[in-house]
Amino acid sequence: MTRFHMHVIVVALVGALAIFCGNYALLIGALIVSFAIVSLGVVWPRLSLFGPFICRGTNSRRCVALTFDDGPDVRSTPALLDLLHEARVEAAFFAIGKRVAAERELAARIVREGHLLENHSFAHSNATNFFTIPRLKVELTQAQEAIQLATGIAPKLFRPPMGLSNPNVFHAARALGLKVVGWTARGFDTQVKDPERVVKRIVRQLQPGAIILLHDGNIPAERLLVTVKLLLAKLHERGYEVVRLDKILK
């Protein structure tokens, strides 16, 4: 039973009690609070309201994992791969299926260089959170197939577009054997233009097992590289080791 199921039961009981007592103020209050909690659950992965949203690794050592969303992007991913190779860092890329289909060689390079290539939907539609379960299954399956075709490896993890979720997202992911992954720390790197501010924000949220969210798609390569270099220096300074995502999820 998820937190959402428990929430529905509590709201139903309070609602029934309110109706039984004729207390409509209580009924309206319960519905407003319920709406607020569900809305929060949709946008806030760490609440894990609808299912097991993995937002932190289990590793208690000072290890963190880097994750990059929305690629592969020919304008930024190759330079990022060069930088990660130089720094001997393995990351996880939550890729958009249709971009993988268009950039198969780049996707294959990501895996060849020791990184994970995971599922971030096929089309990254802003409406993904409104999709029905069958539509979601098609969306996730198309991304699985595109990634497997390009790399020979089927993803095991799924990060919903924009981190938005609902019971359908967990149902579809579970049906495909995918674990749903969020993040611990992010710096809004696609919106904030100053890499120092992005890194500062991430560093404030650091903790052992942290999953760090960055983007390698829809971001200028230069800004991405400065951000990652700065972040790696800060992590090193604070004694954090960067490990691949699957190693802190064990």
Contact status: 69 vs Zn ion (CB under 5 A): yes
Q: Is 30 left (phi over 0), alpha (psi -120 to 50) or beta?
A: alpha
Q: Pattern 147-176, binding to Zn ion, x per CB under 5 A?
A: --------------x---------------
Main-chain dihedrals φ then ψ at residue 79, nearest 5 degrees: -65, -40
Nearer to Zn ion, 8 or 42 (CB): 42
Using only C-alpha atoms, the chain has a radius of gyration, in whole angstroms, of 20
Q: Applying CB under 5 A, does 70 fall inside the site for Zn ion?
A: yes
Q: Which position among 115, 120, 124, 215 bears the catalytic label? A: 215
How many CB atoms sit inside 10 A of residue 148's CB?
A: 14
Q: Give least dist CB 19 to Zn ion, A.
A: 42
As beta bridge partners, residue 93 has: 68, 117
CB of 69 to Zn ion, least distance (A): 4
Contact region with Zn ion (CB under 5 A), list: 1-9, 57-65, 68-76, 164-172: 68-76
CB 57 within 8 A of CB 209: yes
Please, what is the minimum distance in Å from the beta carbon of residue 158 to Zn ion? 12
Q: Is 124 a catalytic residue?
A: no
Q: For residue 91, is it left (φ>0), alpha (ψ between -120 and 50) or beta? A: beta
Q: Which residues contact 170 (CB under 8 A, 6 or more apart)?
A: 2, 50, 51, 52, 180
| Interatomic CA distance for residues 16 and 62, integer angstroms | 48
Nearer of residues 4 and 158 to Zn ion, judged by Cβ: 158
- The Cα 72–Cα 40 span in angstroms is 30
Q: CB of 142: closest distance to Zn ion in angstroms?
A: 16
Q: CB of residue 188 vs Zn ion: minimum separation in angstroms?
A: 12
| Residue 69 annotated among the catalytic residues of the structure | yes
Could you list the residues that contact Zn ion (CB under 5 A)? 69-70, 161
- Enzyme catalytic residues: 69, 215
